Amino acid sequence: MPPRKRPPANSKFQVRKPADPGVHLEPFLNYLEAECGMAANTVSAYRSDITQFLDWYRSQPSRPLSQVDLKFLSGYLQHLNKRRLAATTVSRHLVTIKLFFRYLVLEGILAESVADLLNSPKLWKYLPKVLSPEKVNELLMAPCNADKYPLRDRAILAMMYATGCRVSEIVNLPLDSVKLAEGYARCVGKGNKERMVSLNPVAVAAVEAYLKYERPDLTRRNPAEQALFLGRGGKQLSRIMVWNIVKKNAARVGCSKEVSPHTLRHSFATHMMAGGAEIRALQELLGHANIRTTQIYTHVDHSRLKAVHQMYHPRG
């Protein structure tokens, strides 16, 4: 949160008691976007989480926000657990609630945030599911003539695996940010942070084919559109459309139903680590703000450690 200071303890500030906490939702979201600089997708996720909390809040016996206590908020966490949500999802909801209550304190609506007393549920170290390099190759070749725009779909899959970009970063790529001759692209990640990602020859060839044979047809209805990947109407492709493209082609090559666009990002990172990439370099390529987020990939693939053991151990 930005360093805006709460009122001092000895001030004459008065706690206001709004009738419905829902009136603070839009100002809170505006605060996240304008003052905290959060990306639109992040703000959208916070909107969803707070809306669910407010719906539950209204279903409980009426009480003002100033009377919300630890037991009341613990009841909401139990409600989330009864929905059989993953511990990571419950933790994300809790983070959202804490930010919301801290905002209410900063605005003088509450004197203190009881939400800060809640502990996050213990999380198992979760290992992301990845595809083997062979299965990735099958996936990249899955788009076929039965598809409306197979070259576009293949270019999307190749770009996602070559760069490790998030799906939001892929759909927001401007055409002029992709430098095929130089083999790199500039993408904007979380927190509006820009980074450069490398393109391998497979991705370059796939994008070149799409730009030559399919994108000109897509731009006829909307010549001014600057996004690299376009939908049928000539407008920027949506995240849902990319999700559908990945799901459809994953099913064609016999992948699990759990495969998603993020699976390609996990696969990129895991294969890079298995190939000997330094974790700091991988952090930059993935656009992680904290290296602890990147460290999960050191636990995913043990093939390199096994090979080192076999090579150097006297009984290997």
Residue numbers annotated as active site = 166, 190, 262, 265, 288, 297
Is the Cβ–Cβ distance between 109 and 16 less than 8 Å? yes
**Angle at Cα 160 formed by Cα 167 and Cα 212, nearest 5°?**
105
- What are the residues whose beta carbons fall under 8 Å from the beta carbon of 313, sequence distance 6 or more? none
> In angstroms, what CA-CA distances link 263 with 2, 256, 267, 271?
33, 11, 6, 12
Tokens at 306, concatenated = 């096994």
For the chain, give the number of residues: 316
Q: Report yes or no: 103 and 31 within 8 Å, Cβ to Cβ.
A: yes
Each as own residue / partner, the long-range contacts of residues 234-242 (CB below 8 Å, 24 or more positions apart, any chain) are 236/171, 236/172, 237/156, 237/171, 238/171, 239/167, 239/168, 239/171, 242/156, 242/167, 242/170, 242/171
Describe the strand order of the beta sheet including 184-188 as a list of residue ranges. 178-179, 184-188, 194-198
The C-alpha atoms of residue 172 and residue 41 are separated, in whole angstroms, by: 12
Tokens of 96: 């959202």
- Is 207:218 a contact under the CB 8 Å cutoff? no
> Cβ neighbours of residue 252 under 8 Å, at least 6 residues apart?
142
